[in-house]
Structure 1
Amino acid sequence: MKISTKGRYGLTIMIELAKKHGEGPTPLKSIAQSHELSEHYLEQLIAPLRNGGLVKSIRGAYGGYILAKEPNQITSGDIIRILEGPISPVEGIEDEEPAKRELFIRIRDAVKEVLDSTTLEDLASHSEDGDTDSYMFYI
């Protein structure tokens, strides 16, 4: 499974909204500018996040977007599934021979575990304190 720019930029949007949670709406323009991303592309990504119940839009001169839930109630898995679809390392796992099927299932489950146990609160606080050890994986 490869996470595309949809997933990566979607996480960027959501992490920024988590950092500003409780401060009022954040315009996409400010997120786009601070990360040097296309505002138009972020607008395309925010729609499925809104439809998926993760963000709310606030209209008006001081409008923008806010999280629809607390940052500790939204996981990176929620975001990736909305933007990228199901989490699977290969298509058609059920058609693989048993040994390969077991390997691919274990890979899928490991990725799901990481994504579903990492909340926006974790990501927002990780980004702010610069602590890189908490998410270091050794192979």
Structure 2
Amino acid sequence: MRLTTKGRFAVTAMIDLALRCAEGPVTLAGIADRQKISLSYLEQLFGKLRRFELVTSVRGPGGGYALARETATITVADIIAAVDEPLDATSCGGKENCKDEHRCMTHDLWTNLNRRMYEYLHSVTLANLVEQQHAKGGPVAVLHDERPATASRGAAKLPLTA
């Protein structure tokens, strides 16, 4: 079990968008160039992110994408779910038919791992990830809600890398 490219690229692209959205709509071409992700692949991902109401599109000259919600309200779990990324450590997809149509001996172990992964990814917000990039000296940008990310707003220091 591992997170596939789809989920990784979606999270990376959302961080890039969040870092730059205060300057106006962000183009997918810009994200593709900065993050070395195929533009056509980003178009597919952002279509799903838009349907999940995590981003909005702005048409016309100067158009691009913007966040549909504040960074503190978008979790990594939201992003992964939006792009249909399966996170399941069980071999049966939770159907309890792991071994010869019966529940295997390790089913509860993998089910509990699934629950903990989801809980962790649900606890990490886009605001947390943006703050980490600022701490690393990444691009300076104001968050979507036009207030800088601070620990007092509940942005936890997490050992994640983007």
TM range (shorter): 0.7 to 0.9
- Counterparts of 1:80-99 in structure 2, within 5 Å, are 80-92=80-92, 93=94, 94-96=96-98, 97=103, 99=105
Partner of 1:135: 159
Q: How big is the shift at 1:83? A: 1.2
Q: How big is the shift at 1:54? A: 0.5
Q: Secondary structure at the match of 2:62?
A: coil
Segments of 5+ residues of structure 2 without an aligned counterpart are 138-156
Segments of 5+ residues of structure 1 without an aligned counterpart are none
Partner of 1:51: 51
User: In structure 2, how many angstroms separate the alpha carbons of the residues matched to 1:76 and 1:18?
Assistant: 13
Conserved? CA contact 1:81–1:87, under 8 Å: no
Q: Secondary structure at the match of 1:65?
A: strand
Partner of 1:63: 63
Let me know the Cα RMSD of the aligned residues: 1.9
**AA of the residue aligned to 1:95:** N
TM-score (norm 2): 0.75
Conserved? CA contact 2:55–2:66, under 8 Å: yes
Q: 1:50 to 1:76 in 2, by over 3 A?
A: same
Partner of 1:14: 14
Q: How many pairs were matched up?
A: 135
**AA of the residue aligned to 2:123:** S
Conserved? CA contact 2:27–2:64, under 8 Å: yes
Q: Highest CA radius of gyration, 1 or 2?
A: 2
User: In structure 2, how many angstroms separate the alpha carbons of the residues matched to 1:88 and 1:64?
Assistant: 33
TM-score (norm 1): 0.87
Which structure shows the higher helix fraction? 1
User: In structure 2, how many angstroms separate the alpha carbons of the residues matched to 1:110 and 1:129?
Assistant: 27
Q: How big is the shift at 1:53? A: 0.6
